[in-house]
Amino acid sequence: MDIGIESADVLSDAFIDTKHLMGGAVMGADPDKSVTDLVGRVHGTTDAWVVGASVFPSGGIANPTFTALALAERTLGAIGGA
């Protein structure tokens, strides 16, 4: 793949300080555009949950672990109330 200096600069600007894998199973309200609902339950299921950085709908602007942990705590709360 040819990625010129100009393209590399655009990528660098876009990701700033967070270059981690995430977003493989994004959460969202619309089942057509996301894998889980807003608390991490897989759309169309009653007891399949996704916990981790894969539910991030975007990359954010900082390193992801604290956000992943906060989302996990919220998902665990939802599981407890399910």
Ligand X SMILES: Cc1cc2nc3c(=O)[nH]c(=O)nc-3n(C[C@H](O)[C@H](O)[C@H](O)COP(=O)(O)OP(=O)(O)OC[C@H]3O[C@@H](n4cnc5c(N)ncnc54)[C@H](O)[C@@H]3O)c2cc1C
The residues of the shown chain that bind ligand X, judged by CB under 6 A, are 20, 52-54, 63-65, 68
CB of 36 to ligand X, least distance (A): 13
Task: Pick between residue 45 and residue 65 the one whose CB is nearest to ligand X.
Answer: 65
Q: Which residue is nearest to ligand X (CB)?
A: 52
CB of 58 to ligand X, least distance (A): 14
CB of 1 to ligand X, least distance (A): 22
Residue-wise burial string across 31-50, b where 16 or more C-beta atoms lie within 10 A, e elsewhere: eeebbbbebbbbeeeeeebb
Task: Pick between residue 34 and residue 54 the one whose CB is nearest to ligand X.
Answer: 54
